[in-house]
Amino acid sequence: MGGKEKGSGSLRLFVALDLPEGVRERIAAAVKKKAGLLPQARWVKEENLHLTLKFIGEYPEEKVERLEGILEKKALEHRPFTASLRGCGGFPSPGRARVIWVGMGKGEEEAASLASGLDSGLTRVGVKREARPFRGHLTLARLKNPMDCCSWLASLEEELSGLEEMDFQVREITLYRSVLSPQGPTYFPVRRFELGGKKVERD
């Protein structure tokens, strides 16, 4: 997989759940209808829509192999699960939003448990623990200045009706490298790790 040139020293990394193309298309179509009413927002490109499980940040390239070892082990501790997305909101609040997001319907508990396993496992390879509790979400847009988005969110919510019925199977997690630029970030999948569906139960 691309995006991992030799000798760059440090890589900006995060671990995410990928979404099926149909779900991304569905969300992008809803956003497209409403984005014009929120011109201040910086929108996430359709192909970049993802659910972050753990933000790693700048990480020494020579240690990535060890980090991958932890991800492999942690992924095997979890079974595949069914997920869906539902509704939308704003962080830190809809009335003073800096981030506009779509929430999780099914599978949030499983995603939270995966995130917490990664959070604790990765401390062993020098990654800082997450200070805030996990909230499964997909970032749609960012606002430089906080804004009251309540009515905009209500109309997007209507546009997103039926999204929660688009169940999908989560069978793997992906380690991404993020390259930031003034044109926006590019995410390169570094490696995917299968969840441990075939784990043998002990007596």
C-beta closer to ligand ATP: residue 76 or 188: 188
Query: Annotated catalytic residue: which of 88, 137, 138, 163?
Result: 137
Q: Quick one: which segment of 18-26, 117-125, 149-157, 178-186 binds ligand ATP (CB under 6 A)?
A: 178-186
Whole-angstrom Cα distance, residue 91 to residue 98? Answer: 6
Residue 174 in the binding site for ligand ATP (CB under 6 A): no
Query: Minimal CA–CA distance to 85: which of 142, 28, 162?
Result: 162
Query: Minimal CA–CA distance to 138: which of 187, 101, 169?
Result: 101
Query: Annotated catalytic residue: which of 50, 54, 74, 86?
Result: 50
Q: What are the phi and psi torsion angles at 192 (to 5°)?
A: -105, 145
Contacts of 22 (CB under 8 A, 6+ apart): 166
Residue 142 in the binding site for ligand ATP (CB under 6 A): yes
Min separation Cβ 83 and ligand ATP, Å:
16
Site string for ligand ATP, 93-112 (x = CB under 6 A): --------------------
Residue 78 falls in the annotated catalytic set:
no
**Residue 174: CB atoms within 10 Å:** 19
Answer for which of 12, 63, 171, 192 binds ligand ATP (CB under 6 A) is 12
DSSP secondary structure letters along 128-189: PPPSSPP--EEEEEEEEEEE--HHHHHHHHHHTTTGGG--EEE-EEEEEEEE--TT--EEEE
Question: Which residues from 53-92 bind ligand ATP, rule CB under 6 A?
Answer: 55
Answer for which of 8, 185, 194, 197 binds ligand ATP (CB under 6 A) is 185
Radius of gyration of the chain (CA): 17
Residue 50 falls in the annotated catalytic set:
yes
Min separation Cβ 69 and ligand ATP, Å:
21
Catalytically active residues are 50, 137
Interface with ligand ATP (CB under 6 A): 12, 14, 52, 55, 139, 142, 178, 180, 185
